[in-house]
Amino acid sequence: MVTNAAKGAAVAVALLLAGCAASDGAGDRARRIVFFGDSITQLGEGPGGYVTLVRDSLRAAGIEAEVIGAGISGNKVTDLQARLDADVLAKRPALVVIYIGINDVWHNQFAERGLSGTPRETYRNVLADIIGRTAASGAQVVLATPSVIGERTGGANRWDPMLDEYAGISRAVAREKGAVLMDLRAAFTAHIAANNPEDRERGILTNDGVHLNAAGNRLVMEEVMRTLDGLGYFFPSR
């Protein structure tokens, strides 16, 4: 079944993609969306993953957009910066959705494995660079805030304070660089607060506190479609 929200988002996407193509005369750009991120996005390309769900929702609504997943497990914002040209800009997308930030915080927990997080200023500056370069290529940028590391409520997860801070940095950079914000941190915490009466650490939207289960993938798909629907505001109708 195609929901009214999906239909509305599909119309907005058609206008968005057509507008991007018209703005630079690049017909091959017109129907290409890239999802750029870490293991959450890599897994999102699988059956029932959020990237797959977005692709299927658009197709069901009559929009044959080319939807590309460009997620790699373990990536931080610096990894995205290093592969931006090859994995995103070379594909000439009309729209790029950036979903990053979890490992930039979470990897602080794994120093014994040789991993580390990303310093705050580095996170801010690199994220701004990625958005700026992507926008300069002619693509519309959507920036997602990092979602969750643990699903206990009321700020009880170990990394909640730092994750909130990094989500705040993402919001500020999106505002400063003119990216469209998709606030997954807010959406996840609101859903978990309403649906986790036993205050479980996992199992509401994730399998392990980080990686999405079926409900989490559906929630991200719905947030993507809602964001795309809103983007119809920025482009004239045909």
Gap between the Cα atoms of 126 and 149, Å rounded: 22
pLDDT attached to residue 48: 98
pLDDT in tens, 67-94: 999 999 999 999 999 999 999 999 999 9
Q: Return the pLDDT at 238.
A: 26
Q: Is 30 helix (H, G, I), strand (E, B) or coil?
A: coil
Return mean pLDDT, the chain: 89
**Residue 113: predicted pLDDT:** 87
According to the model, what pLDDT value does residue 232 have?
64
What sign results for the dihedral spanned by CA atoms 86, 89, 95, 99? positive
Which pLDDT score, from 0 to 100, does residue 23 have? Answer: 45
Q: Which domain holds residue 103?
A: 4-234
- Supply the pLDDT for residue 26: 47
What total number of domains does the chain contain?
1
Mention every residue, 6+ apart, whose C-beta is less than 8 A from residue 6.
Answer: 57, 58, 60, 61, 225
Which pLDDT value is given to residue 136?
A: 98
Query: What is the DSSP annotation of 177-211?
Result: HTPEEE-HHHHHHHHHHHH-TT--SSSSSBSSSSS
Rounded to the nearest 10 degrees, the angle between the axes of helix 50-60 and helix 214-231 is: 50
Query: Looking at residue 235, what is its pLDDT?
Result: 33
The pLDDT, as a whole number, for residue 16 is: 52
| CATH number of the domain encompassing residue 88 | 3.40.50.1110
Residue ranges for the chain with pLDDT beneath 50: 1-7, 10-11, 13, 15, 19-26, 233-238
